């Protein structure tokens, strides 16, 4: 595809026009790439030839599309059997490739569920996140872990179900505190029969399925019956359960009578930014809401944003029976087919104009508008702080990515390095990283050596993955917890790796380690301080404290894991289930180590071959 007049490669609409000649009217997905083979845009088409031909026009495009066409130096195409397949493939590629000109959902974590386990005679009720491999009944999704915890807490008050692990259940000889405060019925020590406990589980499942009205009527009838036969203690317990059930319903806020299962999704756009608010309605109950801020541009319309959001949001999630929207998407019929295909059952998309569903959308839209307003105000304030940071530390421009490093250990044990990231939108928690310190030759408590290891690993990886600094992964400023020694260690690492142009500052407590008297260290410049009431100083303190909090949390998790570890963890063929069985049978890992073969084979699930492996592990070492 060479231009015959000047022998230069074609770009933009001329290049695209050449591609159009080779295309047919099949449905499919197209990719537009720049001179570095980076994907600029991924799109779907009912007919590839007709869709791509729009880009071959020299004019009539929005500024965003015009820039995209101008930067295009090559294209890739993939035909599909149907347009629905093209839509699903398009959204999958957008999530993988994160093209510059597409609407991109930036926060797409999994949502927690409630699991009522069925693998035990006395089922456990607990929070669950991830693949649904464990046997039992799942209820969700909930908007956040907090929403699940609140619901679990309320269900414990009403139904008195256990939340302890099976291992803990089997090892108890007396009831725990939850029994004392009337949050559990004490099945571990026989305070309730298996049949009565099963009835409570069945009631909890009915409530989670939305049968709360009928359940309350049955409880009220049972309470009256107990009172008539003078079983006043049982009647009082049923009264307390009805009261708690009423409180659960009251605290859920929105409980739509006419909507049993739906996601309510509302969009608000302003000044080139967008907020999507999602309410999860299950079993006629509000199971929480979550806001999302997809990456958009100033010339993108609501239908395009919502279509991209739906495709990416449900990429790894099962859609509900109804999806109630604030705006129509570009291809309602196509998106309906895609969601139905994902669910394996009919899914309805609708934009209500009146009634209860319209009220739900109005509430979600109001939440989206208010959330976006708060975020824009916070972003503006954050921008001023980043400008102040640039002025205080002599940077050429406001940093877009600030990385803050800290270490945590106890006399060198369980040492962890931590990195947190801050930018124009505040703390970017998805970019936080922890580093388990590996240096065997390090002296315990050697903070300089730990910092060297962390930064060496961090920047060696950056140099390997992005040597030309084309992505936003490279920091514009490093803040190091420490003074001249730490700064010297950082400079040594940067020089060894050949990293230039990344400024770094050491933040050390000042006189008497008093907060507010921090001193700042930079290579080749005298130590300096900021005024005590300077907002930039507070900003630096906040970032340093966040790094310290993250490092301490990572250290505690590592220490806790080490404390709970046993020699059984290293025995070949002994997984979690058999380890729990061995500990429940013998009481401790030491007792397992002293056991003979006949004792080991008496444990449920331990074969003669595994018993020999365990015995050899503890007796043939050395």
- Return the pLDDT at 596: 85
**144-153, 345-354, 578-587: the lowest-pLDDT one:** 578-587
pLDDT band at 379 (very low <50, low <70, confident <90, very high): confident
Q: At CA 429, angle to CA 428 and CA 433, rounded to 5?
A: 110
pLDDT digits 0-9 by tens, 88-105: 899 889 988 889 899 988
In percent, the amount of the chain with pLDDT more than 90 equals 28
Mean of the per-residue pLDDT values of the chain: 83
- Return the pLDDT at 220: 76
> What is the C-alpha to C-alpha distance for residues 419 and 500, in angstroms, rounded to an integer?
20
In percent, the amount of the chain with pLDDT more than 70 equals 87
> What is the C-alpha to C-alpha distance for residues 221 and 420, in angstroms, rounded to an integer?
57
Average pLDDT over residues 375-381: 84
Residues 6+ apart with CB under 8 A from 54: none
Residue 398 has pLDDT above 70, yes or no: yes
Sheet holding 39-45, edge to edge: 39-45, 28-33, 74-79
Q: How many CA atoms lie within 13 A of 523 on its CB side?
A: 17
pLDDT band at 568 (very low <50, low <70, confident <90, very high): confident
pTM over 0.85: no
Average pLDDT over residues 46-62: 91
All structural domains of the chain = 12-97 (3.40.1440.10), 113-251 (no CATH), 262-373 (3.30.420), 402-548 (3.30.420.340), 567-619 (1.10.150.20)
| Token pair of 307 as six digits | 């279509």
**What is the DSSP-derived secondary structure letter of residue 187?**
G
pLDDT band at 353 (very low <50, low <70, confident <90, very high): very high
> What is the C-alpha to C-alpha distance for residues 22 and 20, in angstroms, rounded to an integer?
5
pLDDT digits 0-9 by tens, 474-496: 999 999 888 888 888 888 888 88
Residue 622 has pLDDT above 50, yes or no: no
Q: Is the Cα torsion angle 52, 57, 63, 69 positive or negative in sign?
A: positive
pLDDT band at 249 (very low <50, low <70, confident <90, very high): low
- Return the pLDDT at 82: 92
Q: Which residue has the higher pLDDT, 534 or 240?
A: 534
Asked if residue 529 lies in contact with residue 541, where contact means CB atoms within 8 angstroms, the answer is no
> Which of the given ranges, 105-119, 382-396, 596-610, has the highest pLDDT on average?
382-396
Average pLDDT over residues 200-226: 75
Residue 513 has pLDDT above 60, yes or no: no
- Return the pLDDT at 263: 93
> What is the C-alpha to C-alpha distance for residues 238 and 216, in angstroms, rounded to an integer?
10
Closest CA to 294 of 307, 281, 279, 280: 307
**65-74, 142-151, 286-295, 315-324: the lowest-pLDDT one:** 142-151
Average pLDDT over residues 226-233: 74
Closest CA to 403 of 580, 264, 296, 550: 550
Give one DSSP letter per residue of 283-317, joined into a string: TTEEEEEEEE--B--TT--HHHHHHHHHHHHTSSS
pLDDT band at 449 (very low <50, low <70, confident <90, very high): confident
Residue 3 has pLDDT above 60, yes or no: no
Residue 506 has phi, psi (to 5 degrees) of -90, 130
Q: Pairing between strand 285-292 and 322-325?
A: unpaired
Asked if residue 479 lies in contact with residue 548, where contact means CB atoms within 8 angstroms, the answer is no
Closest CA to 159 of 108, 229, 207: 207
Average pLDDT over residues 109-127: 86
Residue 235 has pLDDT above 80, yes or no: no
Average pLDDT over residues 104-115: 81
């Amino acid at each position: 595809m060479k231009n015959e007049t000047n022998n230069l490669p074609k770009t933009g609409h001329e290049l695209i026009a050449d591609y159009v000649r080779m295309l047919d009217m099949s449905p499919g997905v197209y990719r537009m790439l720049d001179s570095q083979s980076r994907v600029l845009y991924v799109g779907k088409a009912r007919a590839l030839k007709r869709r791509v031909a729009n880009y071959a026009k020299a004019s009539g495009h929005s500024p965003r599309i015009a820039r995209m066409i101008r930067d295009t130096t090559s294209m890739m195409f993939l035909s599909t059997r149907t347009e629905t397949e093209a839509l699903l493939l398009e959204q999958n590629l957008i999530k993988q490739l994160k093209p510059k000109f597409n609407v991109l959902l930036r926060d797409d974590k999994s949502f927690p569920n409630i699991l009522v386990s069925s693998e035990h005679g006395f089922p456990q009720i607990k929070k669950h996140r991830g693949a649904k491999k464990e046997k039992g009944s799942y209820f969700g999704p909930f908007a956040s872990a907090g929403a699940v915890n609140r619901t679990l807490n309320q269900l414990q008050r009403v139904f008195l179900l256990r939340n302890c692990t099976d291992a803990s259940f089997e090892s108890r000889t007396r009831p725990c505190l939850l029994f004392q405060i009337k949050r559990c019925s004490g099945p571990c020590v026989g305070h309730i029969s298996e049949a009565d406990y099963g009835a409570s589980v069945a009631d909890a499942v009915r409530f989670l399925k939305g049968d709360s009205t009928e359940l309350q009527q049955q409880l009220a009838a049972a309470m009256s019956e107990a009172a008539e036969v003078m079983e006043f203690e049982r009647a009082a317990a049923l009264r307390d359960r009805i009261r708690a059930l009423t409180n659960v319903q009251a605290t859920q806020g929105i409980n739509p009578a006419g909507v049993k299962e739906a996601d309510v999704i509302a969009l608000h756009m302003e000044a080139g930014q967008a907020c999507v608010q999602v309410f999860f309605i299950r079993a006629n109950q509000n199971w929480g809401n979550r806001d999302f801020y997809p990456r958009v541009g100033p010339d993108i319309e609501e239908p395009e944003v919502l279509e991209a959001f739906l495709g990416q949001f449900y990429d790894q999630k099962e859609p509900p029976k109804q999806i109630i929207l604030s705006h129509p998407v570009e291809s309602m019929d196509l998106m309906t087919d895609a969601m139905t295909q994902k669910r394996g059952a009919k899914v309805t998309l609708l934009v209500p104009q009146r009634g209860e569903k319209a009220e739900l959308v109005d509430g979600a839209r109001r939440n989206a508008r208010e959330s976006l307003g708060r975020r824009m105000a916070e972003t503006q304030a954050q921008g001023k702080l980043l400008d102040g940071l640039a002025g205080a530390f002599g940077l050429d421009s406001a940093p877009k990515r600030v990385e803050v490093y800290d270490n945590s250990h106890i006399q060198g044990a369980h040492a962890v390095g931590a990195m947190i990231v801050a930018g124009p939108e505040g703390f970017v928690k998805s970019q936080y990283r922890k580093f388990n310190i590996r240096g065997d030759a390090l002296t315990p408590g050697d903070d300089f050596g730990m910092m060297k290891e962390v930064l060496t690993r961090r920047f060696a990886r950056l140099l390997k993955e992005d040597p030309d600094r084309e992505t936003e992964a490279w920091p514009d400023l490093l803040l190091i917890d420490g003074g001249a020694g730490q700064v010297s260690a950082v400079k040594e690492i940067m020089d060894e790796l050949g990293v230039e142009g990344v400024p770094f500052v050491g933040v050390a407590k000042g006189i008497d380690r008093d907060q507010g008297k921090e001193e700042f260290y930079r290579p080749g410049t005298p130590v300096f301080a900021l005024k005590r009431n300077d907002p930039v100083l507070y900003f630096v303190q906040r970032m340093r404290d966040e790094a310290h909090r993250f490092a301490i949390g990572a250290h505690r998790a590592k220490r806790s894991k080490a404390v709970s570890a046993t020699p059984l963890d290293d025995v070949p063929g002994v997984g979690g289930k058999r380890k729990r069985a061995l500990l429940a049978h013998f009481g401790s890992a030491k007792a397992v180590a002293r056991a003979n073969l006949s004792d080991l084979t008496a444990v449920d699930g331990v074969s003669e071959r595994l018993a020999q492996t365990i015995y050899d592990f503890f007796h043939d070492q050395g």
